[in-house]
């Protein structure tokens, strides 16, 4: 059948005309307008004038000022283009067009138009309570990346119909999550057996840290809320913190209903072991698996990206990598023996092996790295300079500040797992660094490829 250009438009417009006629038979124009305002989209997934008033201005519709009501009406022509959150300039211009129409048809006077149209837009946004029950560490990490991208290119992450394609391999992700939970639950059992009823928070001399829970509970939101309510010196603050209440807590066999005080809860969670895992394709930078923690519902802190720890012996390859570029080879030999290294301010560093013993064996650097020999790693660092080790670590992808001390070769400075995996990827990729990538493609409803 041959395509006739105008027929489709005629049919479409005829249907609209019939619908409009039927509406006017049963409803007055006032009713139709009311139904429209109660259901129309005002952007940000806010539908209806009441919801828009509450979310943009924290007011009911009858409480809106003239300029606020005009802003909402003006938005209806194009909610994305005239969104006051994203584009105040265009929203102001559109609001003033509405005010101009009100002036034209004698709804307001000239002096009112002059004063109101000159006012800036003042929003009082209502904080949206977002349910994060189905969030994950991957989703949050992707969202943080996308927010910057959307701001740069003028997209709304939640309204513009974006399709996000991630690099995650769902099969590997499942393996990573299962492995993390299985391994950490076993370690948790060993932890409980080792410590028993003793508290694990200890100082460098092995003694229990006094007032550990009391000091740390002061950093919690509930403590801040109680101080605002009762005052910092009030006995009621600590009374409420120790008051038992019903709550769900994390366990390795699933969430559990229990009765804890806020104090008991913090004490309980301070003994839960945490972990993260990330798997990277070193040649493309694609993140194939990402486990930011043991349970996002209970632990929002991302152990991969946010958490920083001393990497210990996992940092040693950067010392050996620097040595290879400074003239050493895998077959170069050193002796596993005690060493003292002097550095800034006359300080001395005397490293020991993990077993506190020295073999006094002469071994290749390849074997020394394989055996994770601290003494030989320290000698190597003393020979090439710890500044070289730091430089090569940064070249590979470590971005955190590293302390310029000889013990840096044994991983004394805090780094994130995200950085460490990236840096190892550079070594595997023969020295070519490829930054980790979680999002590979973004499309929208209008274009096949948005970015």
Q: How far apart are the first and last CA of the chain?
A: 39
The pLDDT score that the predictor gives to residue 447 is 62
Across residues 233-240, what is the average pLDDT? 90
Phi-psi region of 277 (alpha: psi -120 to 50; beta: other; left: phi over 0): beta
Alpha carbons 325 and 393: distance in angstroms, whole number: 13
Residues 339 and 350: beta-carbon distance below 8 Å = yes
Secondary structure (DSSP) of 227-279: HHHH-TT-HHHHHHHTS-EEEEE--TTS-EEEEE-HHHHHHHHTTS----EEE
Assess whether pLDDT exceeds 70 at residue 5: no
Secondary structure (DSSP) of 203-227: -TTSPBPTTHHHHHHTTSHHHHHHH
The pLDDT score that the predictor gives to residue 152 is 87
The pLDDT score that the predictor gives to residue 1 is 46
> What does residue 190 show for φ and ψ, rounded to 5 degrees?
-65, -40
Domains along the chain with CATH numbers = 5-117 (1.10.3810.10), 211-270 (no CATH), 277-439 (3.40.710.10)
- With CA atoms as reference, report the closest residue to 45 among 35, 56, 33, 36: 56
Alpha carbons 179 and 168: distance in angstroms, whole number: 16
Flag the least confident range among 78-87, 232-241, 350-359, 418-427: 78-87
Alpha-helix residue ranges (DSSP H) falling in 326-433? 365-370, 374-384, 386-396, 417-428
Alpha carbons 269 and 9: distance in angstroms, whole number: 65
Q: Give the pairing type, strands 287-291 and 277-280.
A: antiparallel
Q: CA angle, corner 382, sides to 378 and 386, nearest 5? A: 90
Assess whether pLDDT exceeds 70 at residue 193: yes
The pLDDT score that the predictor gives to residue 217 is 94
- With CA atoms as reference, report the closest residue to 275 among 192, 199, 394, 186: 186
Secondary structure (DSSP) of 163-185: EEEE---HHHHHHHHHHHHHHHH
For residue 9, give Cα distances in angstroms to 6, 231, 362: 5, 69, 88
Alpha carbons 333 and 391: distance in angstroms, whole number: 24
Tally of CB atoms within 10 A around 194: 9
Give the model confidence (pLDDT) of 272-283 as tens digits.
999 999 999 999
Higher-confidence position of 135 and 377: 377
Flag the least confident range among 72-76, 153-157, 163-167, 250-254: 153-157
β-sheet bridge partners, residue 415: 309
Q: Is 124 helix (H, G, I), strand (E, B) or coil?
A: coil
The pLDDT score that the predictor gives to residue 154 is 85
Assess whether pLDDT exceeds 90 at residue 387: yes
Higher-confidence position of 1 and 395: 395
Sole residue written with tokens 């040693």:
316
Assess whether pLDDT exceeds 70 at residue 3: no
pLDDT, the chain, mean: 90
Across residues 17-40, what is the average pLDDT? 83
- With CA atoms as reference, report the closest residue to 325 among 425, 432, 431: 431
Give the model confidence (pLDDT) of 329-380 as tens digits.
999 999 999 999 999 888 999 999 999 999 999 999 999 999 999 999 999 9
Alpha carbons 449 and 443: distance in angstroms, whole number: 4
Give exposure, 279-315, as e/b (b: 16+ Cβ within 10 Å): bbbbeebbbbbbbbbbbbeebeebbbbbbeeebeeeb
Residues 6+ apart with CB under 8 A from 319: 377, 380, 381, 384, 389, 409
Q: Which helix (H) or strand (E) holds 114?
A: helix 110-117
Give the rounded percent of residues in the chain with a pLDDT score beyond 70: 94
- With CA atoms as reference, report the closest residue to 132 among 278, 298, 263: 298
Q: 250-255: long-range contacts at Cβ-Cβ below 8 A with a sequence spacing of 24 or more? A: 250/294, 250/295, 250/297, 250/298, 250/299, 252/181, 252/184, 252/185, 252/188, 255/297, 255/298
Assess whether pLDDT exceeds 70 at residue 307: yes
Across residues 296-301, what is the average pLDDT? 94
* Radius of gyration of the chain from its Cα atoms, rounded to whole angstroms: 32
Assess whether pLDDT exceeds 60 at residue 134: no
Assess whether pLDDT exceeds 90 at residue 306: yes
Residues 173 and 139: beta-carbon distance below 8 Å = no
Assess whether pLDDT exceeds 80 at residue 6: no
Sole residue written with tokens 């370690």:
187
Based on the number of CB atoms within 10 Å of its own CB, is 205 exposed (0-12), middle (13-18) or buried (19 or more)? exposed
Across residues 78-91, what is the average pLDDT? 87
Give the model confidence (pLDDT) of 409-451 as tens digits.
999 999 999 999 999 999 999 999 999 999 999 988 666 555 5
- With CA atoms as reference, report the closest residue to 439 among 160, 177, 148, 133: 148
Assess whether pLDDT exceeds 90 at residue 67: yes
Please report which confidence band the pLDDT of residue 8 belongs to, taking 50, 70 and 90 as the band edges.
low
Residues 6+ apart with CB under 8 A from 224: none
């Amino acid at each position: 059948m041959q395509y006739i250009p105008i027929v489709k438009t005629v049919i479409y417009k005829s249907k609209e005309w019939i619908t409009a006629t039927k509406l006017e038979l049963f409803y007055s124009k006032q009713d139709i307008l009311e139904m429209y305002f109660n259901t129309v989209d005002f952007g940000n997934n806010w539908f209806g004038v009441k919801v828009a008033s509450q979310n943009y201005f924290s007011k009911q519709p009858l409480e809106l000022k003239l300029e606020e009501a005009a802003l909402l009406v003006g938005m209806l022509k194009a909610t994305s283009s005239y969104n006051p959150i994203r584009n105040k300039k265009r929203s102001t211009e559109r609001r003033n067009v509405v005010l101009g129409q009100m002036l034209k048809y004698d709804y307001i006077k000239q002096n009112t138009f002059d004063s109101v149209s000159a006012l800036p837009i003042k929003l009082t946004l209502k904080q949206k309570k977002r349910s994060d029950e189905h969030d994950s560490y991957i989703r949050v990490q992707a969202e943080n990346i996308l927010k910057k991208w959307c701001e740069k290119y003028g997209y709304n992450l939640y309204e513009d119909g974006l399709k996000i394609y991630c690099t995650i391999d769902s099969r590997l992700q499942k393996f990573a999550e299962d492995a993390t939970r299985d391994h950490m639950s076993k370690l948790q059992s060993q932890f409980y057996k080792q410590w028993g009823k003793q508290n694990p928070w200890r100082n460098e001399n092995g003694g229990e840290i006094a007032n550990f829970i009391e000091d740390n509970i002061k950093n919690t939101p509930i403590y801040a809320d109680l101080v605002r309510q009762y005052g910092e010196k009030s006995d009621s603050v600590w009374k409420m913190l120790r008051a038992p209440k019903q709550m769900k807590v994390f366990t390795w066999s699933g969430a559990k209903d229990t009765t804890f005080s806020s104090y008991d809860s913090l004490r309980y969670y301070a003994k839960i072991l945490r972990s993260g895992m990330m798997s990277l394709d070193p040649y493309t930078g694609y993140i194939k698996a990402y486990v930011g923690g043991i349970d996002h519902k209970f632990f929002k802190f991302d152990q991969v990206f946010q958490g920083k720890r001393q990497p210990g012996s996992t940092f040693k390859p950067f010392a050996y990598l620097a040595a290879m570029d400074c003239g050493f080879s895998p077959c170069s030999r050193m002796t596993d023996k005690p060493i003292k290294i002097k550095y800034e301010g006359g300080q001395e560093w005397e490293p020991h092996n993990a077993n506190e013993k020295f073999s006094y064996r002469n071994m290749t650097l390849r074997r020394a790295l394989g055996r994770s020999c601290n003494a030989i790693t320290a000698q190597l660092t003393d020979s090439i300079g710890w500044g070289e080790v730091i430089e090569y670590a940064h070249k590979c992808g470590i971005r955190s500040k590293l302390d310029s001390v000889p013990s840096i070769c044994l991983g004394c400075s805090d780094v994130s797992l995200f950085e460490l995996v990236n840096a190892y990827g550079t070594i595997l990729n023969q020295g070519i660094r490829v930054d980790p990538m979680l999002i590979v493609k973004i499309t929208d409803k209008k274009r096949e490829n948005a970015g």
